[in-house]
Amino acid sequence: MTTSELQDRGMIREIVAGMRSKYITLERDRKIRERLDRLLSMDANGNSLIAADDSRADGERRGLAVVGGAGSGKTSLINKAVDNHPDLQPSSAAPIPVVRVTVPNPATSKSLAFEVLKKTGYTELAKKRATAWDAWNDVRVRFKLLGTVLLVIDEAQDMFPRGSKSEAHDILRTLKTLMQDEGGVAVVLCGIETLFERLSVDFQADRRFKKFELGPVNVTADGKLLRGLVSTYCDMAEVARPEPADLIERLAHAGRYRLGLCIEQIIAAIEIALMRGDKTLEIQHFAEAFFEQEACEVGRNVFLSPRWSKIDLG
Ligand SMILES: Nc1ncnc2c1ncn2[C@@H]1O[C@H](COP(=O)(O)OP(=O)(O)OP(=O)(O)O)[C@@H](O)[C@H]1O
Ligand SMILES: [Mg+2]
């Protein structure tokens, strides 16, 4: 490879990394911010941030379930909302206002409590033969000490494993007491669609977790948004936009109608165009990116098949 080819490769890598790290602010960002605000309020003196009053009959009652298909953008959305929230920044009074964990495997009450403790910088775990009850008590103490007002639990559907004995009920009961405690925390659970169904079954009487849904992309309503995304990324990579009439429809289908997956397809197609030195993004680039991702036959490539809308991607 010549020096200039190597330089080109380096530049392409940089452009692609830039596209991957770009966060596009959407209407859903405004909505999740609103919901977060309802989970939180100030104390009676108007000073420190606390979880909103749990006894409030109307409000969000401290629990929110962010649900959407795999790749819809749940983790990115909640992370960005927390990172950008002016009242959720670490301070000397509240060094860790938000604790974010991913449900560990196996998902027991104790393993989750340990995961939470780890995220609070707790280092005594190895020494301790703690029970789940002890561990959650330590969580409570750490939260008070660190000014934690919000606990975000990602991949929360994994609390409900199939086939094995689930401790989801114990975990949910514990979360409920964490939320109810005086000065308790608000809890956000993120997970795929089954999460909310499972929550409703296990937590039926309570309805403590309100739903925030990242619904499927709808080409009629979101066509403009998708076209805008293609343009934005093309501009970043300095390639001309593609023209094919039904590209957006095919893109939505190939991305399983999940926004994050659609974004990943756009970036992958642009990367292929850049590698080829092509100046315009074409449907062929999308088709090749799709082959790489799905390892499918021509007839099952959503960007090539005339009967693409009939292709079931599962
Ligand atoms: N607003 C956004 N701007 C740019 N990229 C985004 C945005 N939202 C999501 N993405 C991208 O979409 C992809 C999927 O997003 P993310 O991982 O947040 O989805 P998820 O719903 O949490 O998926 P999973 O269920 O697999 O955990 C990632 O590559 C992410 O960078
Ligand atoms: Mg995620």
The ligand placed nearest to the CA atom of residue 18 is 1
Ligand 1 pocket member 242 (CB < 6 A): no
* Burial class for 102, CB neighbours closer than 10 Å (0-12, 13-18, 19+): middle
Ligand 1 pocket member 75 (CB < 6 A): yes
Tell me what the pLDDT averaged over the chain comes to: 88
Q: What is the pLDDT of residues 213-267, one digit of tens each?
A: 999 999 999 999 999 999 999 999 999 988 778 999 999 999 999 999 999 999 9
Q: Within this chain, do residues 127 and 232 fall inside the same structural domain, yes or no?
A: no
Q: Where are the beta strands (DSSP E) in the chain?
A: 40-42, 49-51, 63-68, 98-102, 150-154, 186-191, 209-214
The ligand placed nearest to the CA atom of residue 193 is 1
Whether residue 137 has pLDDT greater than 80: yes
- Residue ending a domain, choose from 149, 181, 214: 214
Q: Within this chain, do residues 210 and 233 fall inside the same structural domain, yes or no?
A: no
Whether residue 297 has pLDDT greater than 90: no
Pick the residue whose CA is nearest to atom 15 on ligand 1.
Answer: 73
Q: Within this chain, do residues 199 and 263 fall inside the same structural domain, yes or no?
A: no
Alpha carbons 116 and 235: distance in angstroms, whole number: 41
Q: How far is CA 81 from CA 30, 146, 152, 302, in A?
A: 9, 20, 12, 33
Q: Within this chain, do residues 79 and 152 fall inside the same structural domain, yes or no?
A: yes
Q: Within this chain, do residues 233 and 179 fall inside the same structural domain, yes or no?
A: no
Nearest-atom index, ligand 1, CA of 80: 1
The helix/strand/coil state of 7 is helix
Nearest-atom index, ligand 1, CA of 190: 22
Q: What is the pLDDT of residues 19-66, one digit of tens each?
A: 999 999 999 999 999 999 888 875 555 555 666 665 554 444 588 999
The pLDDT, as a whole number, for residue 39 is 85
The pLDDT, as a whole number, for residue 43 is 56
Which of 75, 261, 265 has most ligand 1 atoms within 8 Å of CB, for mutation? 75
Give the pLDDT band of residue 209 (cuts 50, 70, 90): confident
Q: Name the one residue in this structure whose structure tokens are 């994050």.
A: 260
Residue by residue, DSSP assigns 64-101 as EEEEE-TTSSHHHHHHHHHHH-GGGS--SS-S-SEEEE
Q: Within this chain, do residues 80 and 177 fall inside the same structural domain, yes or no?
A: yes
Q: Within this chain, do residues 187 and 243 fall inside the same structural domain, yes or no?
A: no
Q: Which two tokens stand for residue 164?
A: 């094995």
Q: Within this chain, do residues 103 and 126 fall inside the same structural domain, yes or no?
A: yes
Q: Within this chain, do residues 210 and 153 fall inside the same structural domain, yes or no?
A: yes
Q: What is the pLDDT of residues 179-198, one digit of tens each?
A: 887 778 999 999 998 888 88
Q: Name the one residue in this structure whose structure tokens are 């023209």.
A: 243
Pick the residue whose CA is nearest to atom 10 on ligand 1.
Answer: 260
The pLDDT, as a whole number, for residue 60 is 43
- Residue ending a domain, choose from 214, 233, 251: 214
- Residue 4 within any structural domain of the chain: no
The pLDDT, as a whole number, for residue 45 is 57
Whether residue 161 is preceded by a cis peptide bond, meaning omega within 30 degrees of 0, is no
Q: Within this chain, do residues 194 and 251 fall inside the same structural domain, yes or no?
A: no
- Ligand 1 centre to CA of 66 (Å) is 13
Report every protein residue that has its C-beta within 5 angstroms of ion ligand 2: 75
Q: Name the nearest CA neighbour of 95 among 42, 144, 138, 152.
A: 144
Ligand 1 pocket member 73 (CB < 6 A): yes
The pLDDT, as a whole number, for residue 59 is 42
The pLDDT, as a whole number, for residue 196 is 82
Ligand 1 pocket member 102 (CB < 6 A): no
The number of domains in the chain is 2
Pick the residue whose CA is nearest to atom 12 on ligand 1.
Answer: 260
- Residue 141 within any structural domain of the chain: yes
Whether residue 204 has pLDDT greater than 60: no
60 lies in which domain range? 27-214
Ligand 1 pocket member 264 (CB < 6 A): yes
Alpha carbons 272 and 294: distance in angstroms, whole number: 15
Share of the chain above pLDDT 70, in %: 88
Ligand 1 pocket member 263 (CB < 6 A): yes
- Residue ending a domain, choose from 178, 199, 214: 214
Q: Within this chain, do residues 70 and 137 fall inside the same structural domain, yes or no?
A: yes
Ligand 1 pocket member 255 (CB < 6 A): no
Alpha carbons 63 and 66: distance in angstroms, whole number: 10
